[in-house]
Chains A and B, each alone.
Chain A
Amino acid sequence: MKILVAVKRVIDYNVQIRVKEDGTGVVTDNVKMSTNPPDDNAIEEAVKIKEAGKATEVVAVTVGEEKAQETIRKALAVGADRGIHVKVDGMLEPLAVSKILQKVVDKEKPDLVFMGKQAIDDDCNQTGQMLSALLNWPQATFASKIEVKDNTLEVTREIDEGLETIEINVPAIVTCDLRLNEPRYASLPNIMKAKKKPIEEIVASDLSLDVSPRLEQLKVEEPPKRKAGIKVANVAELVQKLKNEAKVI
C-alpha cells in the first residue's frame, strides 16, 4: 500500500495573530511558521502504518511557495520516504489545492491519501472532502483511530454526537484529528538523513489547471475585543455577582 500525505505550512499555533493595519490580511513577516498541526498527525499515522509493515511507501506532498518545502523536509525527517513540492505563489483556495492534489494522485496512484482535518490558518475544513469528491473516493473525515485491513480501513470518526465507525475500501481519503496519535519528534540524525531524500518539484502552472481565485477577501479585521472583567475575592462574591449583577443564575 502506498500512502500520500498532504501537508501545509501555516503560522505556528503558538503565535499571537496580528491583523495588518491596512486590512489586507494578517502579519506573516518574521512570524514563526510550522506544519499545520493535524498534518503532523497524518504523517505520523502513515509512518506508523509503514512501520507495521502495512504500507510500502509514504510520500509527502505540499502545495505552496518556496519555503513550504520546510514542511516536506520535516515530514521526511520523521519517516516519509520522498517528497513532492507543487510550487505556487500566494495562497490558493481549498478547491484549487484539491485540483492540484488530484493531479498528483493521478500520477502517483496512491492507495490512501491522508491529511489534517483542517488547517489552522483559514479554518476552512474542505480540502480532504473536496479531493475525495473529485476522485469519487470514500472519505473518512475527523479520524481518531485507523485500523488497516486487507483492502479496507476501519476508521473511527469524531462527530458532534460522539464517535462513528465506518469501513472504507481503498483507494480512500482520511482526514486526521489531533487525537489520532502523538506525532514524534525528528532526531538529529534523521534530520540529516532527510536532507538526502528526494523532493520532486512541480510548477503548478504546468499542470494546466484553473486555480484562479473564486473568492475575494474584501477585508480582514480584528474581532471585537472583550472588555476586561474583574477579579472577585471569593466564591460568595462570585455567586452574588452572577445572581444580582449579571443575572444569569
Chain B
Amino acid sequence: MAVLLIAEHNNKELRPFTLNAATAASQIDENVHAVIIGHNSAEAAKQLSQIPVVKKVLSVEAAHYENFTAENFAPVIVKLAENYSHIVCSANTFGKNLMPRIAANLDCSQVSDIIKVISSDTFLRPIYAGNAFATIKSNDSKKCITIRPTSFDPCESTGGSAEIENIESSEEFSNTKFIKREEIKSDRPELGTARIVVSGGRGMQSGDNFKLISDVADKLGAAIGASRAAVDAGYISNDHQVGQTGKVVVPDLYIAIGISGAIQHLAGMKESKVIVAINKDGEAPIFSVADYGLEADLFEAIPQFMEELNKLNTIQK
C-alpha cells in the first residue's frame, strides 16, 4: 500500500506547501503517489511528476474542479482511497476544508495538523493552541492526515520523472456554486514561507499606520503578518493573520510590533528561529518568547529601526 498525497495548486502551478506535504508523506512511506485535481492543470501535473519523492501522479481534470470545491474533490479521493493506506495533505485552509469530508466518507478518524511523523500510525500534533503536544496513534485501517506545512521542510522539486496517469472525473456536486475569489496580490514573499515576517498588532492604532510595517517589510524583503486584534479592527486583511485560527509561521526572523502576545497569537509564531518584540508595555507576554525585546514606543522605534537598517551596507535577502 502507498501514501496518496493531495496536491495543492492554482491550476497553473503547484502551491509551495505541496512540497512540505510531500516530505511528510515520504516519511510515512516511501511509496508516495500524488493526485492533482483541477481544470487545465497539465502544467502543474508536470511539476508534480518532477518531484523526486513522488512515484506516480494521478491527474483528474474537469471544469468543475477549477475552484477546488471540497464537495467536488472528496468523491474523487474517496474512490481512489481503496488503493492507499494513508491520505495526506496540508493543514492550510485548502486541506482543512477538504480532508474531513474525505475522512468521514471513509469512516476514518482524521489526525489533523501533525508536526511530526513518529511511525506510519503514530504522529505528534499540537493541541490547545500549541500549549500541549499530543502523541496520537491511529487504529483506523486507513489514515487521513493533515500536516502542518511549516513543520516539514519542502522536498526537492525537480529531478523526478513520475508517470502521469489520467483518472476519470466524478460527477459535479450541484448544490455548491463558486462565485468569486478575492486574492490579495502582493510582490512580497508569501507569509507562510517567508524568511522574515514583520507583524503589527493593535498597537498600530490604525490601518494607515500599517504603512510603517510595510516599509520595514520592504526593506527586509519580508512578509507582513498581523495579530487577530489588528485584523478584527480592520487595519489589514485576514490573509495576514498569524495565530491559532490564522496562519502558523516559522521564519528565521519574526518581528512583532505593537503585539501584546496573547497565547492565540503565540501559537502561530513561537517556533520562529529568532523573535523580536517591540512594545511599550514591558510586561507584555510577547517578551516571554522574544529573543530580543525592545521596550519602546513603536512610533519612535520604527523610524529609528529604518534609519539603522539604512546604515547597513548589506541586508540578507
A residues sitting closer than 8 Å to B (CB atoms) are 11, 13, 16-17, 19, 26, 38, 93-96, 98, 117-118, 120-134, 137-139, 141-142, 144, 154, 157-169, 172, 177-179, 213-223, 226, 228-232, 234-236, 238-239, 241-243, 246, 248-249
Contacts and interface: CB of A to CB of B under 8 A. Distances in A.
Given A121-B127, A126-B103, A162-B182, A234 B133 contact: no
Contacts of A215: 109, 111, 136-140
Contacts, number: 268
B301 interface: yes
Contacts of A217: 134-136
Task: Give the interface residue-count category, chain B.
Answer: 35 or more
Nearest to A123: B127
Contacts of B291: 229-230, 246
A123 B127 CA distance: 6
A239 B305 contact: yes
Contacts of B23: none
Interface of B: 69-71, 74, 91-94, 96-105, 107-113, 122, 126-140, 173, 175-184, 192, 196, 220, 228, 231-232, 237-239, 244-245, 247, 252-253, 263-264, 270, 273-276, 282, 287-296, 301, 304-305, 307-309, 312, 315-316
Given A118-B245, A248-B196, A162 B138 contact: no
Nearest to A141: B97
Contacts of B139: 214-216
Which of B131, B245, B253 has most A Cβ within 10 Å? B245
B112 A123 contact: yes
Contacts of A11: 128
Contacts of B110: 94-95, 124, 126, 130
A172 B178 contact: no
Which of A128, A169, A226 has most B Cβ within 10 Å? A226
